[in-house]
Structure 1
Amino acid sequence: MRKAYFKAKDNTNKIAFPMILDYFEDLEKANKDFEHISSDETLKYQEMAFNNVLDYARENNKFYGKRIQNLTFSELDQIPLLLKEDIRGEKNLIQCVPDKQIGQLHLTSGTTGKPTYISYTLADQFIYDLLPQYNGLFPFGSEDVVGIALPYEFALPALGFQRLFQFVFGSMVLSLGKGGYMAPVDKALDLLKEYQPSVITTTPSYAALLYDEAVSLGFDPKDFKIERFILTGEGCSFNFRKQLEDKWNCKMTFFYGSTEIGLIAKECIAQNGYHICEGHVFVEILDKNGKTAPDGEMGDIVVSTLLREGMPMIRYNTEDKGFTSEEKCDCGCGMKKLFLFGRERDQIHLEDGKFPPLVLENVLLKSKLITLWYQFIIENHELTVRCEKQRHKISDNEVITEIKKLFKDNFGINCEVEITNDIPKHKGKNQRVFYKK
């Protein structure tokens, strides 16, 4: 498959970045892989790739032409940030090819108001997305059967993962979907039993729902012999993940990406931060003044695509918070690490301060008396925790006392606790924070 990518450079009228294909062909000839080259080599590649993108966008898009002018990678901080509101509802604003060259159109999920349209050429999908390979982060092959339990409608992730596993690793793919009309949960579980996939990629909440449904239908989830879950699409805390691992009896690693950008970063088996996929993207962390934050300092995550010709994203503000680290990882991967902390606007504002929802979740799920299904209800800056208790013989008072103590001891928060059995188990993105007016 790699040779097919490299042959594409012979048709330079259809390939936007032939120099990139040359680079990865030379890397392969030198028997090197991108995950283990030096940081100096990585930076040299990223400078070359970024300048290619700037030249390409300047030549093919008026909006970018005005923004970029004659700036280069060394003058990156002079290029204005690309914001979500810039591209929302503007399907041609940053598109660099005519519509007839678009092979796939995606819409972002969860967007209120006008949608965000993201255009991919066939080269984006079948050459550039698949060109830099990270075999340590994705240790899979043709012997693997992979279940993709993500939505195939509108958004990118399901089709992106399907291309990755089919065309790079040669794996068999089970297109499970995510509980829609043509993908009911019971049929998905039948497929899991019949084909025994070694890998499942899905959201944390759907992994929890699949487990609950498996138990209720008489399946023993541990009999599926799944070796790895790749969790994406929504955040979850470490304790949420740990409980899922115990239930499914396998390792689970996080994947960070978006429809706008595609692949950004992937957690390795060491489960200690995401490795930035530096062959695909250049990541900046900016402080409150818009300056580059030092290594280890929290800031806004700004991402630029290095391998996108249909709709390149140049200095796109993800609105996520995080920090980077160049510490060496036990897995041996040399790519820089990224640590995520969610979005500023998603923080819960209480009388006792501001708290990221996943930090509260992590402490809540220290309790072994409740299930993974809960809600945070906020009213007048006060917190009520709605949760389900486990099915063993414990009183409501035991659960309430334990949770109140957890929040008081860890955050100084005086919360109310409501025990219930009617928390909705959505197949889509699971909303867990609700504000009462």
Structure 2
Amino acid sequence: MQKFYGGSLMLCPSFISKNIFYPVWDIWDKSKKLQVLKSLEKSQWKESVELELYQWQRFKDILNYAYLNSPYYKKLFDNKGLTPDSFRTRADLPLLPITRKLDVRNNLEKFLSVPYDKAELIQAKTGGSTGFSLELYFDKACQEHRNAAALRSDRWAGWNLGMVRGELWGNPPRAGSLKEKIRHELLDRVFYLDTMQINGDSIASFLNVCSQHNIEVIFGHAHSIYIYAKYIHEQRLSVAPLKGIIATSMMLLSHERELIEKVFACKVTNRYGCEEVGLIACECEKHHGMHINAENVLVEFIREDGTAADENEMAKIVVTDLRNQGMPLLRYQIEDMGSFSSRVCACGRGLPLLEKVSGRVADFLKTSNGDSVAGISLIERTLTKVIGIEQMQLVQDELERLKVNRVKGQGYTDNSDQILIGELKQVFGDDVSIDIWDVDSIPQLANGKYRFSICNL
């Protein structure tokens, strides 16, 4: 069964799509996306101080808007005795309680902005990998800013408007209406490899399409791209070098990045975002940290006690959407952990840097003495130390018991599991019980993503 999706009109030159179809589509769709992109292309080179002032003004604007138009935030402000004027500097941010996923799920209608008709807002849902799915809404202007920011970061990776590209997703979208089909053929110009049923035949077909259409940029789940590259490497297939690889939606492990870059002779661009606010940060061509999408989101790094974390200190990531008037989200905790850096990137952009993302809060495992362990980092370290382990997934349902779903790899011996157990006991202690389950592969979630560390405590 064919597992890639594309169109038939993608033979037109990319410069026609870029210089004719994109501008015409914006006019037809009454969109300002290209205007926003042009503005973002300029603002990224501003000095950091100027960008910070602009970002703070955007925050004040959305704060004031939410107070006047969001029933949820109006009540929250009043209960705390706050007004938008209570926030004069970033030091005042903790005055406003953090918004959590349960707050949104339990008060959805109250989050919606009064001036907007719910039926006219754009609807989205989170994937549910944190335990439950959220229903979300945003207005058209917000969507345009999100899309423009994504286009800007795509260009950092080597893609440009009009270029045909390959994408690796689970359950890829398929054009239904006439408008969607026209857009897919003339603007999006994407061929999909459905990673929910990825196999040798589907990969071979996708490779053939990439060759026929001279696809030079691929985009998709980080681990799915790794599986794709691993198959090519193991089969010793010949592929043309790529101009860009954009990995997103999952943690990009260092050994996966290394193999992907070796196979395609191209640097991987790591991108970070979420359904709730869109793009949060992305690597530039220097690949040293991720630039925060500062014109559209304000990002905080918060300790367990609610105070602001220091530079390079791992903490909870809290974001404010600076554009969404349809459903304002202020100081929203997205259940991820990360750190920031104050260093200046060699590229010269003034955008601040997200130094590291180390996974969801739910991906952090617990030791018997109460310490938290970044599961994804532990897996990455272990895979580089233990020969013969291709993949593994850590599941913690009890404090002193760890389940390991292990996929055998090249070089596996009877001693591999004992070495693995030893490595894990160094972290969790000798009293922890470690159960190793031999599996053929780590299963995907319904949205095509993978989770390699799961804490159910």
Q: Same fold (TM over 0.5)?
A: yes
CA distance 1:81–1:397, change in 2 (3 Å): same
CA distance 1:219–1:145, change in 2 (3 Å): farther
CA distance 1:136–1:122, change in 2 (3 Å): closer
Letter in 2 for 1:431: R
CA distance in 1, matches of 2:120, 2:372: 46
Which residue number corresponds to residue 451 of structure 2? 431
1:203 to 211, 215, 221: 221
The SS at the match of 2:210 is helix
Output one character per residue of 1:81-128: Cα deviation in whole Å (capped at 9) or x when no partner. 2111011154423122212321x3111112577631111323222356
Letter in 1 for 2:451: Q
Output one character per residue of 1:213-240: Cα deviation in whole Å (capped at 9) or x when no partner. 5578x682x5153333222212243233
Which residue number corresponds to residue 322 of structure 1? 338
| 8 Å Cα contact 2:394-2:403 kept in structure 1 | yes
TM-score between the two structures when normalised by the length of structure 1: 0.76
CA distance 1:241–1:361, change in 2 (3 Å): farther
1:118 to 122, 132, 136: 136
Which residue number corresponds to residue 70 of structure 1? 83
RMSD: 4.1
CA distance in 2, matches of 1:332, 1:370: 42
CA distance 1:24–1:42, change in 2 (3 Å): farther
| 8 Å Cα contact 2:407-2:439 kept in structure 1 | yes
Across the two proteins, how many residue pairs are aligned to each other?
Answer: 405
- TM superposition shift of 1:212: 5.0
Which residue number corresponds to residue 360 of structure 2? 343
CA distance 1:382–1:295, change in 2 (3 Å): same
Listed as ranges, the gaps of 5+ residues in structure 2 are 1-17
CA distance 1:24–1:190, change in 2 (3 Å): closer
More displaced 10-residue stretch of structure 1: 414-423 or 115-124:
414-423
Letter in 1 for 2:407: E
More displaced 10-residue stretch of structure 1: 401-410 or 230-239:
401-410
CA distance 1:300–1:111, change in 2 (3 Å): same
CA distance 1:343–1:418, change in 2 (3 Å): closer
After superposition, where does 1:132-211 map in structure 2 within 5 Å? 133-134=152-153, 137-142=156-161, 144-151=163-170, 172-179=189-196, 185-186=202-203, 187-211=205-229
Which residue number corresponds to residue 18 of structure 1? none
CA distance in 2, matches of 1:361, 1:138: 27
Which residue number corresponds to residue 38 of structure 1? 47
Output one character per residue of 1:402-433: Cα deviation in whole Å (capped at 9) or x when no partner. 54565577887798685845234437222334
| 8 Å Cα contact 2:302-2:308 kept in structure 1 | yes
Letter in 1 for 2:137: S
After superposition, where does 1:370-389 map in structure 2 within 5 Å? 370=388, 372-378=390-396, 381-383=400-402, 385-389=404-408
CA distance in 2, matches of 1:373, 1:193: 30
CA distance in 1, matches of 2:349, 2:65: 31
CA distance in 2, matches of 1:359, 1:236: 11
Output one character per residue of 1:10-66: Cα deviation in whole Å (capped at 9) or x when no partner. x9xx99xxxxx8x998x68xxx72222112111111122112212322332222223
CA distance 1:202–1:129, change in 2 (3 Å): closer
CA distance in 1, matches of 2:453, 2:310: 32
Output one character per residue of 1:159-215: Cα deviation in whole Å (capped at 9) or x when no partner. xxxx9xx99x9673224444369xx94454443343342222211221233345557
Which residue number corresponds to residue 9 of structure 2? none
CA distance 1:292–1:355, change in 2 (3 Å): closer
CA distance 1:296–1:360, change in 2 (3 Å): closer
1:363 aligns with 2:376: no
% identical aligned pairs:
22
| 8 Å Cα contact 1:53-1:312 kept in structure 2 | yes
Listed as ranges, the gaps of 5+ residues in structure 1 are 16-20
Which residue number corresponds to residue 303 of structure 2? 287
Instruction: Kindly indicate whether structure 1 or structure 2 has the higher relative contact order, using CA contacts under 8 Å at least 6 residues apart.
Output: 2
1:399 aligns with 2:416: yes
CA distance 1:320–1:112, change in 2 (3 Å): closer
- TM superposition shift of 1:357: 0.9
CA distance in 1, matches of 2:455, 2:62: 42
CA distance in 1, matches of 2:338, 2:325: 27
Output one character per residue of 1:379-408: Cα deviation in whole Å (capped at 9) or x when no partner. 6624464433434xx451353465456557
Output one character per residue of 1:273-297: Cα deviation in whole Å (capped at 9) or x when no partner. 2211101101112233323333333
More displaced 10-residue stretch of structure 1: 33-42 or 245-254:
245-254
Which residue number corresponds to residue 300 of structure 1? 316
| 8 Å Cα contact 2:366-2:373 kept in structure 1 | yes
More displaced 10-residue stretch of structure 1: 222-231 or 169-178:
169-178
TM-score between the two structures when normalised by the length of structure 2: 0.74
CA distance 1:388–1:176, change in 2 (3 Å): closer
CA distance in 1, matches of 2:405, 2:119: 51
- TM superposition shift of 1:241: 2.6
CA distance in 2, matches of 1:175, 1:332: 34
